[in-house]
Structure formats: structure tokens, C-alpha cells
A and B are shown apart, each in its own frame.
Chain A
Amino acid sequence: MLLRGTFSFGTYLLYENRRYTINLILNIDIFLMRRSDLGEFEEVVLLTVAVLSPEAYSVAVAEELEEQLGRMITTGAVHAALQRLEKKGFLTSKMGEATQERGGRRKRLFSITVAGSRMVHEVREVRNRLWGRIGPDTLPEFNMG
């Protein structure tokens, strides 16, 4: 949600019958939240976090998604999605323990919040409703292999 407002504060000085106006105009753009809906990639990341919980961190999620989607998924992309989700309040994070492969660095572990849970449920509900309303022979047949 984007709140945009213009606040203007004006006063004037009077002398010798001339008016000097002083205007202070503040343009304020307030980003309350960027978007409250869920992107497609964010949705799968969120679901993957749920799958991997409590051991969900960016590398694990990226690996999992690569396997599931069959294309290369960079940790950077996952990291960004995780940050966005956290900002939207669907995830929380804490620092986990360090491992050998990470060169002794800690990892950030993510878990789903109540808001996140409600979101995935809502999304699922919408999908289910839509699936339920598709007529029996509407979708062309294909071989799922």
C-alpha cells in the first residue's frame, strides 16, 4: 500500500503593504507495505520454507527448488525473496549454527509466521475454488509423462 500526501505549511510576512509568502511544502510518500499479495516465486519459496522447516535457509530452499522446478535457482534470488517475505511479515528469521562447508559462517534460518500461514492457506483456498469450478472437459488432454 502506498500512501502519498502533500502537506503544505504556509505563512507570510507583511511589510510595506507587500506580502512575502513563505511556503514549506513537504511531499511525503509513505510506503506502508510494498505489496501485500504474493508473487508466484515468493509463493513457492514460502511453501518450500514450510516443507523444510525448521531447517529452512536460503541454500536449502534453493537446492530444493532447483530439484522441484528443474531449472537453476540462485541463492541470491531466494535470498531476495526471503527478505521480501520477511518484510511483509510472512516469515521470521534467526541466526542458526555454523557449518564446515560455510567456512565457519552462520546461516539464517526462516520459519513461517501466523500471517504467512494464513496467506498460504488463502492462496490454496483460491486455487482450490478455481479448480473446483473448472468444467469436466474444459482442459485439453495432455500426457503428464
Chain B
Amino acid sequence: MNKPPQWIDKLLEYLCPSDLLEEVMGDLHERYSLRAKRVGENKAKKQYLREVLAYMRPIIFSKTSSEYNKSIFSNMLKNYFLIAFRNLAKHKAFTYINIAGLTLGITCALFILLIVKFELSFDTYHTKADRIYRVITGSRPDDPISYHAGTPHGLAPILKEEFPEVEKVAVIKRINSQKRQFKIENDIVKLSNSYFVSPEFFEVFDYEWINGNPEKSLSEQGQMVITESIAKTYFDGDALGKRVRMNNEYDLVVSGIIKDLPKNTDNPFEVAVSHATYAASDDYDKEYSPSHSSGYHTYVLLEENADYKILDAKFPAMIEKYAGKEVAEKFLAHVLQPMSDVHFNEIWSNGNFKNQITSKKSIWTIALIGLFILLIACINFINLTTAQAGKRAKEVGVRKVMGSSRKQLIFQFMGESFTLTLVATILSVVLASILLPYLKTLLEINLDEQLLFSNDVILALVIQCVVVSVLAGFYPAMVLSGYKPVSIFKANQSSNNFGALWLRKGLVVFQFTITQVLIIATIVVVSQQNYFRTTSLGFNKQAVLIVDLPEYDESKADFIRNKLSQYPQIEGVSFSLNAPSAASNKWFNLFWHESDPDKGRQVEMKPVDDKYLEVYDIPLLAGAPLRDGDSSILVNEAFVKEIGFTNPEEAIGEMVTCGGKNIFIKGVVKDFHTLSLHEKIYPVMLVDLKHQFQLASFKIDLKNAGEAISAIEDQWQALFPEYYMNYRFVDDDIETWYDQERRTSRFLTLFAGIAIFIGCLGLYGLISFITGQRTKEVGIRKVLGASAQHIIYLFSKEFALLIALAFIIAVPIAYYFMNNWLNTFTYKIDMSWWIFAIAAISGVLIAGFTIGFKSIKTALANPIDSLRNE
């Protein structure tokens, strides 16, 4: 009897679900033989194909076509889940440790992803962002040229006139801090995000208008535009047309309202006063000259396809044309900075309004930390799963005997790790959304919380889920599926086979290396920050209260002095341009001295009165103090060095030329820090220039600070009823300079802490597994006379070695990176041995505590309990 065509059978075998194959093939062959008998082989063959094709219908091939037709695959899938679930439920401690570790790791990584994403998104939302450039000003006498975002006032009109490729020029100026006060109805409020803005600014950048437009709302003098939330908070939502008096100086009308700005902008204004208002004031210097205003930023919108490098090259000629050859060669330079660079470049972005410069390098460092924390969590997972592998060896054996292929087993174990990762990911998202507001306050970042639900983040989470489950699950899956059934059943195989053990040790070392590096980094950053806080700046910064002066005149100064001298809590009053250390109002000028008559040297001018040294406790090293109305000056030690003397005494009576005048040096004061500790001490001149005074300083008795403040407040009200009294302690102001460092140190402390915790979780899991596995051994050892100490030693020895190894690897890595970081500061701590010692001790303590608890428990257990039950 002839058989039906073989190839069709092969095809069918391939296509047909295996559980159906028997009856289907049987039917087909029986039919074929019936047909062959009836109509002959040839016809039967033709009809056979038709018969086979008739089976190609969904009801037969769909996997759940009927009860008996359910595929093995889906049955097994169900079984995998069941086993996975039972396994997780049986080893609860492991499951919790795994999920807790992964959840923490993923949450951290998620936070860091949000931070990185937020930082990278600054000002990218403007539609013309790729054509916007900021004009940077370089001060020539410095070598290397120091760059600043502030520009001379006269620059904008020149740019528009000179360069056809400049489509629009926009300017924005942050209003000086003492002037950011507004009288709304009868209240005087301080709105710190207040700027003078030109109408073009709204054409160059994207803003949403609720009421008004740039042409109508900002082109005239005395107009101001506010954001929706300011309108709501201060005007009850009805702001349009309202009159406001700014700093008792300008009368303004609210002429427009815009939507609140996104948080990821470096020009974060809430109040925009028309630039015309500023241009009409006395502060505005129309001339284009080297003296530039630090808060005055100029942006240009270039035409499409214009190359900003070409424009850069044209600037020297422009400066020469408008300010003269000397200025172009000696004093001034301009460069364009692309908008995409504004948030990141530390050199060019000196003077950003929010001081929020985050270099790309630090962003990638943050990202790396996130990645490492995730890695630590993955390592936990790998370690715990492989450690447990022995317990599941039998299951693998049975499965293999019953016909599981290696592929199926890998699939099963990967599936388990995927399930765990998925659970951890979902938990992380919930945790992150709950914790995000706290994190924002803790790390002082202004994150947009909506980011958490953006598509990119969700996509990243999905990718993360897959990558982590592969990363964490692949090795255990390979190990487990590789077991040979024979060897599993023959010997009582322990999980401690050689390869897995070494890998596990390697991973623990890796984990602890990362942790140790983070610990060292944290200690360095925190102590550097402490150094900032505690270093003596060379003057009294704690007990001095400072208040911005709206205006200075002799009679008012006398009034304050006389009235306040009656209070014993107030020990001294002084008027000056600024505090000894001040971020704003630093005023540099050039001076000449006969030691090198052609060389203009830079000096920081400090207009102060005769009481300044007393109030701030600045010691006088030589000469006499300033008298009221003195025309001579005091200088600091750096100044003395600059003009070539070593001894302060020698400088007394020397003459310098500054601002076209000859001045004599009357005394020398001890060096004090005028700028933040990032910078060196410049030569300083203390001069009595009363028209420059903008600040009143009160030395007060800190024990009665409250009374002193209320006394000052009373006098203030009487003198300046139209002004807001903006008082603070000098050290509060100084503190804000180190925001960046404080944020870094908090960030590191937090994430290093979490990394340590995750690492310890894993260690705890491992040690509890090992102690669990060796209970019997411990029991026998104890019966034979081992002491508890010996057993603890037995367990700790191995881990102590691993941690020591990790420390040895971590030290050079941490040293390299932290030394680089410290080198960015002029005044810094040393990387001394104690930093490493603390890191080592804390590492050992943390690990010891983690291991110790479990091993002591095991060591102290009664051998009867461990040996009795079999």
C-alpha cells in the first residue's frame, strides 16, 4: 500500500499542535487509504492535499480550541508562575530582601533619571532655541580673560545696527536685590524674581500670554507684566490695570499677564518690568563702555543658517568702532554662547541668574551614581539567587528528567526574575511619586513632578525592567539550568560550586568597592562644606545684622546712629556699599602704582565708613583707621603684596592712582575674604565714598537679638515708611554661595546611604543563607568544643577579607576623583588619611553589624536544636 506524500506529513507535523497530531494524522492516513482503494492513488494524492488544507483553520490551531487541546506551553506557563509564586512565598525573607533592594535601587535610579532629565531640559522648550545666543563679556586685563554673562548697557542697539544676521536683540536685567520691592495697595512686598525685560525678549523666547502682548504691554515706560500665580497671590486674580509702586521710585501699571514659567528655565522671572522704565532711570548708562552691569544679559536671535562663530570674529572690530582702539585691545571682548550651553558651561555661565549651573560632567557623574546603585541592587539579586540555587537544584533535576529543555528552564528562571523586577518597578513608581516632594525639599531642586509621568520616563522604566531582569536573572538562570540531573541526585550537591562562589565573592567586592567610594566621596564633600561654613573669613560674620538702605544721606545716617546707640543690644552701626563678603555689588577698578607705572592692576573697591572695621572686627595691621570723610584709603595685605612690599608698614604713605586721582595709603588691614572661598583674595581698597553706600550693618548682642531687631525695625519704619525692610545676618548671605556644595553633599549623603543600605541588605541575605546552610556544622563544632567566638570568627573572616579588598580597590579610585573635585576650589581641605580611616572603619562597622547579628545568633544557638531535627 502506498503512503501519502511524505513532505505533506512533515509540514503537518511542523504545523499541527503536538497533542492533536496523533488523531489528525490518523484521520488523514485512514481517509487516504480509503480513497486510494476507491478512486486510485493518483486521485487520492490530489485530494489528500485538499484534506490537509482543510485542517488549516483557526479553531484547530488556536491554542485553546478545546479542553483537551490546551497547549503544553500555556500549561507550563501556568506551572512556572505557580512554582515561582510558591518559591517566593516559601523563602519570604529572600523575597523581601530582593524586592526591597531592587525597589530601593530602582527608585534611586528613577530619581536620578528625573534629576538628569530635568537638568538637561533647561530652556530647550523654546521653539527658536537653536538660534538663540547669549552675548558674553570678557574682561581683558585678567589673564586668562574672565568671562561674565553681564553686558554693557549700550550693546543691544549696536548689535542690531551693525549685524544684519542678528534678527532680534533682547535684554533682561535682574533688578538689584534692594529694589525688588513693590507696594501693592498698602502692603510692601518683596518679589525676588523681578526683572527688567525688553519686549523683544518675548519674541525671542516662548511665553504664553493670558492678557496683553509684548508690543502693547512692555514697550512703554512704567509697564509691568506678571505671571498668573503672582496675579493670584497678590492681586486676587484681578491684576490688569492695577497700579504698583516699585521701591518708592517707579510707578508701574500691570499691563499684561503671562502663564507661569516652566521650572526648567534660567530666566525665571515672575515680574517683568518694561526695559524702558530702566532705560529712563539714572542707573542706566546709555554709553557703550567697558564698565558692564553684572545682571544685564543680552540675547540675540540669529537668522537661520547664520554661523555664530563668524559673528564672534566680527566683535573686536565692533568694539573698536564704538569704544575705541584702546578698549578693544585692552579691556573688552565679546563671545556668543549658544542657548543650549547656558545651563551647563561653568566658564561662560558665570553670573547666571539662579546660579544654577550644572556642568555636563556633574550630570553624568550623577547618572553614573544612579547606574551604580541600580547595579548594586542587581548584584544582590544575583548573589541571593545563586546562593539559593542549591535549594532548587532538585526541582531542576526533576524538571529535566521529566523532559524540560535547558531553554525552557532558562525561560522559567528569567521569568521569575522578570516578575520580581516588575513588582519592584511598580513599587518604585508608587514610592517615587510619594517621595518626590520630600526629595525636592531635601535636595533643594526645583524638579517638575509631571516628569515622572512623561513618556520618556515610562519608556525608560520599561527598558530598565527588561535590562535589570536580564542582568539579574541571566546568570542564575544559566547556573541553575546547567545542572546535570545525574549529579544532582547522586550527591547532595551544595550550591557552593567553585565558579558560583568566586563570582559571588567578586560581586560582593564590587558592591563594596562602589559603596566605599561613595562613603569616601561623601566624607570629602561634607567636610569641604563644613570647611566653608566654619573657616574664619577674617571678619565677624555671626553677630552682624545687615539691612539694605533705600537711600543714604547724612541726616538719616545720624538719626539711625543716635537713636540706636541708646539700645545696649546694639553695639555698633556702620554704613557701606556691602558686607565684607558679598556676592553682589563687587566693584572692581584699576589702579596704578609707581612700582610699574604702565601696569593697570585690578582692585576691589569697598566704600565703607569709619565704623566698618569695628563692626566687622577686621584687625588693622599698620597705620591708622579711616576718619569720617577721609580721602586716604586702607588696603589689605594682598594689595601690599601686589605693589611689591612684604611688610605692611612699608606701604603706609604710598601713593596709588585710581580713577584719575592720586590717593595715599593710610593703613593696612588683615586679609579677609571678599568673595566666596572658590576664589582667591584680591587686592582690596577701603574708601570712604558716601554716595555709594547701600547697606547698614548693625553689630548686635546675639543674646538679645530679638530686641535688637525690633528696635531697628521701629526706627526703620519711622525713617523709611515706603520701603520694605530686608534684614538678614551676614552669614545667611554667605551661606547661599555654597548652595551648590550643600546640594552636592546632601545628594551624596542620601544616595551613598541608600547604596550602603542596599549593599547591606544583600550581605544580610547572604550571611543568613550561609548560616542557615551551616547550622548543622555549627552544631557539631559546638558539640566538639568550639567556642561562640570561634564560630563568629569563622563567619566573619571571609567577609572581612572581601571588605578589606574592596577598600583597597576603592581608595585610589576615590582619591583620584575627589582630588580632582577639590582642585576646583582655591581654599580646600586636604585629602588626609583620616578621611580614609573613617571610611574604612564605617565600612567595617556597617558590614560587621550586618553580619554580626546573624552570626552571633547562629553561634549562640543550642546545638541540640540544630542537630535534633533531621
Q: Are B30 and A101 in contact (CB under 8 A)?
A: yes
Binary CB contact string for chain A from 54 to 88 against chain B (1 if under 8 A, 0 otherwise): 00011100110000000010111101100110110
User: CA of A72 to CA of B51 in the docked complex: distance in angstroms?
Assistant: 10
Q: Are B30 and A76 in contact (CB under 8 A)?
A: no
Contacts of B449 in A (CB 8 A): 15-16, 18
Q: Say yes or no: A79-B24 contact (C-beta < 8 A), given A15-B437, A20-B433, A84-B59.
A: yes
Contacts of A1 in B (CB 8 A): none
User: CA of A128 to CA of B29 in the docked complex: distance in angstroms?
Assistant: 40
A43-51, A103-111, A113-121, A137-145 - interface stretch? A103-111
In the assembled complex, B658 has its CB within 8 A of some CB on chain A: no
Q: Which residues of chain B from 42 to 60 have any CB-CB distance to chain A below 8 Å in the complex?
A: 47, 50-57, 59-60
Nearest A-chain residue to B56, judged by Cβ? A76
Q: Which residues of chain B from 22 to 49 have any CB-CB distance to chain A below 8 Å in the complex?
A: 22-31, 33-34, 47
In the assembled complex, B66 has its CB within 8 A of some CB on chain A: yes
Contacts of A99 in B (CB 8 A): 30
Q: Are B30 and A72 in contact (CB under 8 A)?
A: no
Find A83's partner among B56, B66, B434 (CB 8 Å cutoff): B66
List the 5 closest pairs (A to B, CB-CB), nearest first.
Answer: A76-B54, A105-B26, A74-B54, A102-B26, A76-B55
Q: Which residues of chain A from 7 to 27 have any CB-CB distance to chain B below 8 Å in the complex?
A: 13, 15-16, 18, 20
In the assembled complex, B95 has its CB within 8 A of some CB on chain A: no
In the assembled complex, B65 has its CB within 8 A of some CB on chain A: yes
User: CA of A87 to CA of B47 in the docked complex: distance in angstroms?
Assistant: 29
**Nearest Cβ on chain B to A22's Cβ, whole angstroms:** 9
In the assembled complex, B453 has its CB within 8 A of some CB on chain A: yes
Q: Are B34 and A106 in contact (CB under 8 A)?
A: no
User: CA of A85 to CA of B65 in the docked complex: distance in angstroms?
Assistant: 11
A75-B31, A83-B66 given. 14 additional CB < 8 A pairs?
Answer: A13-B434, A15-B437, A15-B449, A57-B27, A72-B47, A75-B51, A76-B55, A80-B60, A83-B65, A86-B66, A101-B30, A103-B26, A105-B25, A108-B23
Nearest B-chain residue to A34, judged by Cβ? B59
In the assembled complex, B775 has its CB within 8 A of some CB on chain A: no
User: CA of A101 to CA of B25 in the docked complex: distance in angstroms?
Assistant: 11
User: CA of A18 to CA of B448 in the docked complex: distance in angstroms?
Assistant: 12
Q: Are A105 and B47 in contact (CB under 8 A)?
A: no
Q: Are B57 and A76 in contact (CB under 8 A)?
A: yes
**Nearest Cβ on chain B to A103's Cβ, whole angstroms:** 5
Task: List 6 A-B pairs, Cβ < 8 Å.
Answer: A15-B437, A20-B433, A86-B66, A99-B30, A102-B25, A107-B30
In the assembled complex, B69 has its CB within 8 A of some CB on chain A: yes
Contacts of B56 in A (CB 8 A): 76
Find A79's partner among B27, B30, B53, B68 (CB 8 Å cutoff): B27
> Which of A18, A79, A84, A98 has the most C-beta atoms of chain B within 10 angstroms of its own C-beta?
A79
Q: Are B34 and A63 in contact (CB under 8 A)?
A: yes
**Nearest Cβ on chain B to A65's Cβ, whole angstroms:** 12
Interface range on chain B (Cβ under 8 Å from partner): 20 to 34
**Nearest Cβ on chain A to B524's Cβ, whole angstroms:** 34
Contacts of A75 in B (CB 8 A): 27-28, 31, 51, 54-55
**Nearest Cβ on chain B to A5's Cβ, whole angstroms:** 20
Q: Are B26 and A107 in contact (CB under 8 A)?
A: yes
Interface size on A, residues (CB 8 A): 32
User: CA of A74 to CA of B56 in the docked complex: distance in angstroms?
Assistant: 12
Find A105's partner among B29, B51, B53, B54 (CB 8 Å cutoff): B29
Q: Are B60 and A76 in contact (CB under 8 A)?
A: yes
Q: Are A62 and B31 in contact (CB under 8 A)?
A: yes
Q: Say yes or no: A106-B66 contact (C-beta < 8 A), given A20-B433, A59-B30, A74-B50.
A: no
Q: Which residues of A contact B (CB under 8 A)?
A: 13, 15-16, 18, 20, 57-59, 62-63, 72, 74-77, 79-80, 83-84, 86-87, 93, 95, 98-99, 101-103, 105-108
User: CA of A9 to CA of B437 in the docked complex: distance in angstroms?
Assistant: 25
Find B25's partner among A15, A95, A103 (CB 8 Å cutoff): A103
Q: Are A76 and B51 in contact (CB under 8 A)?
A: yes
Contacts of B433 in A (CB 8 A): 13, 20
Q: Are B51 and A74 in contact (CB under 8 A)?
A: yes
Contacts of B28 in A (CB 8 A): 75
Contacts of A63 in B (CB 8 A): 31, 34
Find B29's partner among A57, A58, A74, A103 (CB 8 Å cutoff): A103
Contacts of B436 in A (CB 8 A): 15
**Nearest Cβ on chain B to A71's Cβ, whole angstroms:** 12
**Nearest Cβ on chain A to B447's Cβ, whole angstroms:** 12
User: CA of A113 to CA of B26 in the docked complex: distance in angstroms?
Assistant: 25
Nearest A-chain residue to B33, judged by Cβ? A101
**Nearest Cβ on chain A to B86's Cβ, whole angstroms:** 26
Nearest A-chain residue to B21, judged by Cβ? A105
Contacts of B47 in A (CB 8 A): 72
**Nearest Cβ on chain B to A42's Cβ, whole angstroms:** 12
**Nearest Cβ on chain A to B28's Cβ, whole angstroms:** 7
Q: Say yes or no: A83-B437 contact (C-beta < 8 A), given A75-B54, A101-B34.
A: no
**Nearest Cβ on chain A to B778's Cβ, whole angstroms:** 48
Q: Are B437 and A16 in contact (CB under 8 A)?
A: yes
User: CA of A76 to CA of B28 in the docked complex: distance in angstroms?
Assistant: 9
Contacts of A107 in B (CB 8 A): 23, 26-27, 30
Nearest B-chain residue to A62, judged by Cβ? B31
Q: Which residues of chain B from 346 to 376 have any CB-CB distance to chain A below 8 Å in the complex?
A: none
Q: Are B434 and A59 in contact (CB under 8 A)?
A: no
**Nearest Cβ on chain B to A51's Cβ, whole angstroms:** 18
Contacts of A103 in B (CB 8 A): 25-26, 29
User: CA of A13 to CA of B25 in the docked complex: distance in angstroms?
Assistant: 59
Contacts of A74 in B (CB 8 A): 50-51, 54
Nearest B-chain residue to A74, judged by Cβ? B54
**Nearest Cβ on chain A to B801's Cβ, whole angstroms:** 47
**Nearest Cβ on chain B to A140's Cβ, whole angstroms:** 36
Q: Which residues of chain B from 436 to 455 have any CB-CB distance to chain A below 8 Å in the complex?
A: 436-437, 449, 453
User: CA of A72 to CA of B47 in the docked complex: distance in angstroms?
Assistant: 9
User: CA of A76 to CA of B60 in the docked complex: distance in angstroms?
Assistant: 9
Nearest B-chain residue to A81, judged by Cβ? B59
**Nearest Cβ on chain B to A60's Cβ, whole angstroms:** 9
Nearest B-chain residue to A84, judged by Cβ? B59
**Nearest Cβ on chain A to B104's Cβ, whole angstroms:** 20
Contacts of A79 in B (CB 8 A): 24, 27, 55, 60
User: CA of A26 to CA of B31 in the docked complex: distance in angstroms?
Assistant: 47
Contacts of B22 in A (CB 8 A): 105-106
User: CA of A79 to CA of B58 in the docked complex: distance in angstroms?
Assistant: 12
Contacts of A86 in B (CB 8 A): 66
Nearest A-chain residue to B55, judged by Cβ? A76
Q: Say yes or no: A80-B59 contact (C-beta < 8 A), given A15-B449, A102-B29, A103-B25.
A: yes
Contacts of B26 in A (CB 8 A): 98, 102-103, 105-107
User: CA of A105 to CA of B16 in the docked complex: distance in angstroms?
Assistant: 15
Nearest B-chain residue to A94, judged by Cβ? B68
**Nearest Cβ on chain B to A145's Cβ, whole angstroms:** 24
Nearest A-chain residue to B65, judged by Cβ? A83
**Nearest Cβ on chain A to B731's Cβ, whole angstroms:** 31
